[in-house]
Amino acid sequence: MALKIWLNGRLVDEADAKVSVFDHGLLYGDGVFEGIRVYSRRVFELEAHLRRLYESAKAIRLDVPMQKTELTIAVERTVEANGIVDGYIRLVVTRGVGNLGLNPFTCKDSSLFIIADKIQLYPEELYETGMKIISATTARNHPLTIPPQVKSLNYLNNILAKIEALDSNVPEAVMYNHEGYVAEATGDNVFIVRNGVICTPPVEAGALEGITRNLVIRLAKKEGLEVVEKNLTRCDLYICEEFFLTGTAAEVIGIVEIDGRTVGDGKPGPVTKLLREKFFKYAHGQRK
């Protein structure tokens, strides 16, 4: 069945969901987006995702062409129109159609579209056995170029690191900032367990303030686990007891090897398993 896409105020058939070649989102990566999950027909953490979308747009002086209440309805209508029970939403706002050239103010109206479809980022068996990754040589963008809090359409930096991972026959890579500290993976946030303490890079290190990241921190603290946001080095990743990634599509996935070095005992550890279980229950409405 062909998808229904929300495009600038209405649902259209997938074949009719087109943007102009003069859209600055296409020409220059000028826009913002959110990836959002659907669990059991419920849009997951929608309020938090929309808050980040509007904040990202404000940071780059981009007008979102709908109010939050209207956009909430549009997202829910798109999910319903496609019969999504468990799936993924891609919500995108671009600068819109303008002239050739960098001037964003030639774009009269911003453009907004919503895709609701299925997704499986990693094979299911990787959640049981754990994932192997590498360190990327491609550094995370300097925070004075694009603020890490802005989830922009300009993802070339991450794509180059992803290519490094795929060339090494692994699905993911860790990116480091200009000072050599861990920033994030190409599409996920980084966590380790060291001496029983959960550690994750701060936003200032170049990490996106992930919705799943923040939720996992809350779930960990609820379980009485200590969580610290601190700069991490490559050595920290090599000697930690556990290592896991979090993200909207990835959820919580354990890392068992980085750069050919085994993490822990080579299997997802107890903290990783616990937080994956707690996340799964929370996502499916079991909030107690």
Number of neighbouring beta carbons within 10 Å of residue 162: 20
C-alpha 37/C-alpha 46 separation (Å) is: 9
Residue tagged active-site, from 68, 118, 132, 151: 151
Query: Please, what is the angle between helix 211-222 and helix 46-59, to 10°?
Result: 130
Please confirm, yes or no, whether 151 is among the known catalytic residues: yes
Cα end-to-end span (Å), the chain: 37
Token pair for residue 177? 């900032």
Please give the helix or strand (H or E) that residue 58 lies within, else none.
Answer: helix 46-59
Token pair for residue 14? 């997938």
Residues sharing a CB contact under 8 Å with residue 32, sequence separation 6 or more, in sequence order: 53, 56, 57, 60, 62, 92, 93, 150, 151, 152, 153
Q: Which residues does the annotation mark as catalytic?
A: 151
